[in-house]
Amino acid sequence: MALQSSGTIKYSEIIAEFGTPISGGIGEFRVSESVGSLSNLPLDADTCGPSANADIPQTGPIKFSDFYNARLNHVVDLHSIGNNTTRQDAKLRWNSGNVHIVGSSKTGKTPPPDTIDDKVIINVNATIGSDKGAQRNCALRTGVWDSGTSLKIEIGTSGKLYGGGGDGGSGGSANNGRGGDAKTGTSALGIQYPCTINNLGVIQSGYGGGGGGGGREQQTNTGKKSPPANNGASGGGGGGGAGLPAGNGGVSPQNAFGGGTNGSDGEAGSLSGQASGGLGGNYGADGGDSSLVNNSATKGDDGEVDTNTGGHGTGGDNGFAIITNQGSSPSVTGGGTITGRTITNTAPT
């Protein structure tokens, strides 16, 4: 619970919120803690005091009135989690005790049973990927927090959230097979509770793979002198979409016959680049490239359109940098990068 905003404030109310100092008195609440990518944290910042615009003092005099509007601060640990983990939920991390209570170095306070009216800072300072699956699957979701929780996401300079890349579509088989459809990219950050974001790192959507090219069978020697011959060439696979994990290149079937030649697989996806589609066999069509990595692209390329083949596969849709179930995009500060689209009024998964 936040402390009151005016009137008489008791020491017992302060220690009920922040814990009892292991030694000493109110002066022990002048703290400067470093947690993850966050340094010099006061007991509470920005919204304390009679005007609700100050920090709890870290040095010098400290008064009871400095504690007006003050709230317990929880820092959820997504900084020591190690790189290349996937699909994190900040609320589940909190539930599992992966949280630091600011001031606990002086009080030993443990996390309370809820975060009602508290401040929660989700500190990301590691690389976290999503998966290959539904477009709304996110590398990190905020989770749903208790009522009155003030939520902020702090992404440090080593904090990187990536959606997953979609696999490229397979090439069509040599007997007029249709190219396969590519898979969709997934998403980076899912917001399920109102919050603000300070991004010093990377938030990047996952991108869709390229569609497969069609295979083609055709007859040659249709004149009178030579018997007709059947020839088949397979289509090229689509390029793999960018992300973490990156999409695989689409596989081209190696089943050419007659004078046909085999197509090639699509290029494997990478973290942040466009992958080329595979070259089709001599009669087959080429696979499509994976999506460009930018803020406006919506999908990977379709396989090459060639009506003589069995047909092309479609490119996979891109995921999103940010998916929020709120009605508007979140407030974002900081000099980090956000690559990809943001969608509102949509529940992340």
| Residues of the shown chain interacting with other proteins in the complex, contacts defined by CB under 8 A | 222-224, 236-237, 239, 249, 252, 254, 261-268, 275-280, 282-283, 286-287, 289
Q: At CA 264, angle to CA 261 and CA 267, rounded to 5?
A: 170
Residue 205 Cβ vs other proteins, minimum distance, rounded to whole Å: 22
Q: Which is nearer to other proteins, 111 or 258 (CB)?
A: 258
Q: Which is nearer to other proteins, 143 or 240 (CB)?
A: 240
Residue with tokens 């304390």: 48
Contact 314, 305 (CB under 8 A): no
Residue 279 Cβ vs other proteins, minimum distance, rounded to whole Å: 4
Residue 92 Cβ vs other proteins, minimum distance, rounded to whole Å: 34
Q: Tokens standing for 220?
A: 């040659």
Kindly report each contact of residues 9-13 with a partner whose C-beta sits within 8 Å and lies 24 or more positions away, as own/partner: 9/64, 9/65, 9/67, 9/68, 11/64
Q: Which is nearer to other proteins, 103 or 253 (CB)?
A: 253
67: helix, coil or strand?
helix
Q: Which is nearer to other proteins, 44 or 265 (CB)?
A: 265
Q: Which is nearer to other proteins, 24 or 224 (CB)?
A: 224
Q: Which is nearer to other proteins, 168 or 348 (CB)?
A: 168
Contact 278, 213 (CB under 8 A): yes
Residue 167 Cβ vs other proteins, minimum distance, rounded to whole Å: 13
Contact 249, 236 (CB under 8 A): no
Identify which of 243, 164, 229, 152 has the alpha carbon closest to the alpha carbon of residue 196: 152
Identify which of 325, 319, 320 has the alpha carbon closest to the alpha carbon of residue 143: 325
Q: Which is nearer to other proteins, 179 or 190 (CB)?
A: 179
Residue 262 Cβ vs other proteins, minimum distance, rounded to whole Å: 6
Residue 47 Cβ vs other proteins, minimum distance, rounded to whole Å: 51
Residue 276 Cβ vs other proteins, minimum distance, rounded to whole Å: 4
Residue with tokens 């089943």: 255
Q: Tokens standing for 318?
A: 């891109």
State the Cα–Cα distance between residues 230 and 292, nearest whole angstrom: 38
What is the chain's Cα-based Rg?
A: 28
